[in-house]
Structures are given as C-alpha cells and as structure tokens.
Structure 1
Amino acid sequence: MRFVVRSSANSGISGTVLVAVLAAFGALLLLAPTSSAGGGGPSADSLQLATGGPAPGNAATILTVQGTASRSASYDGAVARFSVRVLRDSILAAVSDGNSAVASIAAAVDARCTAAAMSDADGSTTDACVSPRGLQTLGIRIEEEFDYTDQGRISEGFLYENRLSIAIEGTEFAGGLVDLVIGAGGDSVRFEGLGFTTSQRAEIERLALLDAIDSARLTARTIADHMGYQIVRIVEVNPRESYQVELDSGRGEAIPAAAAPAPTRVFAGQAVITSRVSLTFELRPR
C-alpha cells in the first residue's frame, strides 16, 4: 500500500491538515476492505493524496486510489498441445513416417471428436470429444540432427517435427483427449501440455473491474469523510491490465500405450480473474 502526501509551497495546508492526513492513513488501515485470492471480494491496495496549487477559495486536494477485485469462473473448454517427432536416416523416411503418424492422429480425431455434443436420454452430455475446428498446425520443422564427439560432428539423421494443437468444448473429455492423441501417434508423440479455457472471461473480467471501481470509490469516500472533505469529481480513471490464474498440466515425453493402460484423469478447477483500476478524485473541505 502506498500513501503519499504532497503539498505546494503556496497551498496553505497547515500542520493540522497534515495530522488529519496521517490520521486518515491510520483509519484506512482499519477500514479498507481486503480481497482473497479466490473469494471475489474487492480491495483498495494503493492510494495517493496530494494538494494542488492555489485556487479560488480552498486549495484543491487530489486523492488517487487503486482498487483490486477478483472473480472466479468455471472452465468450459480445453486445449491440448503436442508434437510428432520422428528421427530417420534419410529426410524422405523422416517425412514419410512423420506424416503417417500425423495422419493417424487426424483420423482418430475425426472419428472421435464430433461436430456437436451428444446427449443421453436424460439430457445429460456424454463424455464426448467436441472440437469445432479439429486439429490446428502450429509449425513444421525438418532438419538434420548432429552429435558432437571427440572425432568431430556426426550426423544422427533427419528430424521431422510437426507441432499441433486441438481445442475442445467442455472439460469432460480432456483426459480422454490425452489418451486419444498418444494412442494414435504412439512413440512419436510428445505431449506438451493441456490447458483449460473459459468462454466467460470477458464478462467475468468486466464484473471484476466494476467491483474494483466500487472498492476504490468506497475507500475514497471513507478517507474524505474522515478528514472532513467532500468528493467534487473524478479526475481520472485508469483501468490496469487484468490477469488470470491458469491451470496447466505441464509438459511430458511420449508415453507408449502399453505403459499407460489406465485412462488419464484430469481435473479442470476454476479460473480466477483479477481486475485493477486507478481512480483519481478532486476533494475540497466541507
């Protein structure tokens, strides 16, 4: 928390007002709301108080308060990132075998991931893979690999690498998606990570920003009332960049199907989206 008092030489602010400012700082520590990481409660975590130059009547006083608030949202989608890596003696063999592995994964995705969610008789959604756009190529790399020994540089062959991703709706099939990709691609697959997404991010971010504004305004009113001031107007509103706490399953090497017979279980959890805002107010004595 920051609390800074600045006054100009001609502002006419007396030592009594300075004492009142310091007293307001103590009151702020007791009265300012706080925010928990996942509870969604707003807080004001920074403020500044400064007196401006001479003006008709009473000198203007500027108060800057920063508010922070968080809201939670359930994940409703997942994105898997993986690559197909094949090392062969010739470039043609590397490309051929690599493309075959990618084709096997694409066929499995086409067969398993439907265009729309399937529902049971009771209306509940089945454990289906729903991918509106299917596979997406992120990049392809083909190059010769070398090993450096005491005898010099030795060619190890040609490496084919095809980086891919697939986004699905819902989180129920996230673990099944891991098994599907590894099962179809075999030892050539390197699974690079599974991340979760929420389609509600923009709305949750907006609500968190409104909470942060309310927090800053409440803190400004508390300070002004305690010091015997009134809020004249809002001078500046400066929203800060929001951020999201995300869950990522990490990175891993290829897992042969025979070595991992048990299905992969994945737990999505929730996203915590935090918004920040800085409000500057003009105050005048009552």
Structure 2
Amino acid sequence: MNMLSVRSKKWLISGVAAMALTTVLYVQNAPSFSPGKVYAAEQSVAVQNVITVTGQGEMTISPDVAYVSLGIRTEAETAKDAQAANAAAYEKLRAVLFDKYKLAAKDVQTSGFRVQPEYSYTERDPKIKGYSATQMLQVTYRDLDNLGTFLDAASAAGANQIEGVRFSTEKGQEYELQVIQKAMDNAKAKADAIAKYAGKEIKSIVAVNQGGGVAVPSQYSNIALMEAKSAAMDAAGSPTSISTGELKVTTNVTVQYQF
C-alpha cells in the first residue's frame, strides 16, 4: 500500500467522525416537540381569534350611614377655664349621644381637640382677649330618616360646631359583587355582538382584568348650624331637613374572549 492511499483513508475516517460529532451535537441542541404543545405559528393563529372588550357596571344605591362632624367650642378668660367649660358642655352632649340615642362607643370618636388664644386686633399689635377650647367628634349615625332631628338634639345639647355630613354605605362588599356581575354581563353582550357581526361564535374567556376596582363614592352635605339658627328652628318647631341623595357604584372590566 502506498503512502497516498494510507493518507486518503485517514482523511476519510476523520471526516466521518466529524460528521458523527456534528449530528450528536445537533440532536442534543434541537428543540423537543410535543403533540399537545402550541408553537409559534399556532399561537399566532390563536391570538388572531381573540376579541377584547371593556364592560361597564353601574348601579345607584341609597346611603345607609352618615358620618357627622360636630363639636363644641367654648371661650373663657383663661385656657384652663375654657377647657373646663368645654368638658362640662361635652358631658351634656354625651348624655344625648349615649343615653337618648343609644349610640355605641365605637360610633363616637374624637377627631380633634385644641385650646388656643383668641386675639383682638388694633391698629398696633394684636392682644390676647381670652382663650377658646374646641373638641370635634365624628359620629356614625344610621337612622337617616331622623338625621335632622338628631342634629337638632345635638345642637340643643351644646354642639355649636356642625361642619358637615358624609353619606356612604356599609354594604360595600355586597354592592361590589353585584356591580362586577353587571360589568361582566355588559362585556359578554358586546363580545357576542362583535362575534355575530364577524360570523363567529364566542367560545371561552381567555383573560379578565378589573380596572380600578369598585368605586363606592361618598356624598358630602355641608351643614353649618349656628346657635341663633338652631334657636329659630326650635321656635318654629320644625326639625332640620337633610336630603341623603343617592350614591353611584361603578366598575369596569376588560375581557378577552376566544372565538
């Protein structure tokens, strides 16, 4: 055998070995395929068969609770006397809140207390003319039909600071579920209409996103009852009239349907 033939055989063996190694590496790095798996081309088709709609849910409710901001302001020559007068007036108000109206302790909360100087202003420098003490309460009141009568009773007991009423609901979770159902029904109706127009039929929900949660707003009513006004109402014999109005509960959902 000559040297040329031996070299040719060595090159042939080396080439076969290199091809075998390349094949092994390819098999190891090749992606595995499963019959039930959706690949890029199929995913593209699936994405094209999706309808995305936004559904709105809305309902109007009557408030069932009022948060009343009221308090007592007293004045005296000294800070100590102003605070003592305030404490005495507050005891009368407490009797109305807890004894007459049977409010729970958790429904009456002190929201602010301050004692401060009161000034008289002249052409030169302001001078202290006395002191005032103010204690503010937030009262949770649920008998909304008699809210005006309650405010009059509180005013007569010494509450000369009635700053406002905030109406809301304590059934937020119940209304939340109802308004979400309305939003989903609205989204389904929209998707059905779109699919029908396209000659298709809705099959299933792909994804749902609730945007912004459920909004249960509060409604504010500004009330400022001064002592003179309260006395005039007492003389007339008619209670304060309060309109509770209505609250609107809303939400929206974004839903993707497959067809």
Report the TM-score, using the length of structure 1 for normalisation. 0.65
> For the residues of structure 1 that align with 2:247 and 2:72, how far apart are their CA atoms?
30
Q: In the alignment, residue 222 of structure 1 is paired with which amino acid?
A: A
> For the residues of structure 2 that align with 1:282 and 1:132, how far apart are their CA atoms?
53
Q: In the alignment, residue 136 of structure 1 is paired with which amino acid?
A: Q
Q: In the alignment, residue 55 of structure 1 is paired with which amino acid?
A: A
Decide whether the 8 Å contact of 1:76 with 1:199 is kept in 2: yes
Matched residue, 2:37: none
Describe the shift of the 1:63–1:157 C-alpha distance in structure 2 as closer, same or farther (beyond 3 A). farther
Report the TM-score, using the length of structure 2 for normalisation. 0.71
Q: In the alignment, residue 159 of structure 1 is paired with which amino acid?
A: S
Taking only the aligned residue pairs, the percentage that are identical comes to: 24
> For the residues of structure 1 that align with 2:227 and 2:179, how far apart are their CA atoms?
41
Runs of 5+ consecutive residues of structure 1 not aligned to the other structure:
1-53, 115-130
> For the residues of structure 2 that align with 1:156 and 1:274, how far apart are their CA atoms?
52
Matched residue, 1:58: 45
Deviation, structure 1 residue 167: 1.8
Larger mean CA deviation between 224-233 and 86-95 belongs to 224-233
Runs of 5+ consecutive residues of structure 2 not aligned to the other structure:
1-39
Trace 1:113-262 onto structure 2 (pairs within 5 A): 113-114=101-102, 131-133=103-105, 134-146=107-119, 150-185=123-158, 189-231=160-202, 233-239=204-210, 240-256=212-228, 257-261=230-234, 262=238
Matched residue, 1:119: none
Q: In the alignment, residue 152 of structure 2 is paired with which amino acid?
A: D
> For the residues of structure 1 that align with 2:126 and 2:213, how far apart are their CA atoms?
49
Q: In the alignment, residue 221 of structure 2 is paired with which amino acid?
A: S
Deviation, structure 1 residue 150: 4.0
> For the residues of structure 1 that align with 2:121 and 2:207, how far apart are their CA atoms?
61
Q: In the alignment, residue 255 of structure 2 is paired with which amino acid?
A: L
> For the residues of structure 2 that align with 1:236 and 1:145, how far apart are their CA atoms?
63
Describe the shift of the 1:221–1:110 C-alpha distance in structure 2 as closer, same or farther (beyond 3 A). same
> For the residues of structure 1 that align with 2:47 and 2:84, how far apart are their CA atoms?
75
* Richer in strand (by share): 1
Structure with larger RCO (C-alpha < 8 A, sep 6+): 2
> For the residues of structure 1 that align with 2:77 and 2:190, how far apart are their CA atoms?
69
Decide whether the 8 Å contact of 1:212 with 1:275 is kept in 2: yes
- Larger Cα-atom Rg: 2
Larger mean CA deviation between 95-104 and 55-64 belongs to 55-64
> For the residues of structure 2 that align with 1:182 and 1:272, how far apart are their CA atoms?
31
Describe the shift of the 1:78–1:59 C-alpha distance in structure 2 as closer, same or farther (beyond 3 A). closer
Q: In the alignment, residue 208 of structure 2 is paired with which amino acid?
A: V
Q: CA RMSD in A?
A: 2.7
> For the residues of structure 2 that align with 1:148 and 1:282, how far apart are their CA atoms?
75
Deviation, structure 1 residue 80: 1.9
Describe the shift of the 1:151–1:277 C-alpha distance in structure 2 as closer, same or farther (beyond 3 A). same
SS of equivalent to 2:144? coil
Matched residue, 2:97: 109
SS of equivalent to 1:58? helix
> For the residues of structure 2 that align with 1:63 and 1:100, how far apart are their CA atoms?
68
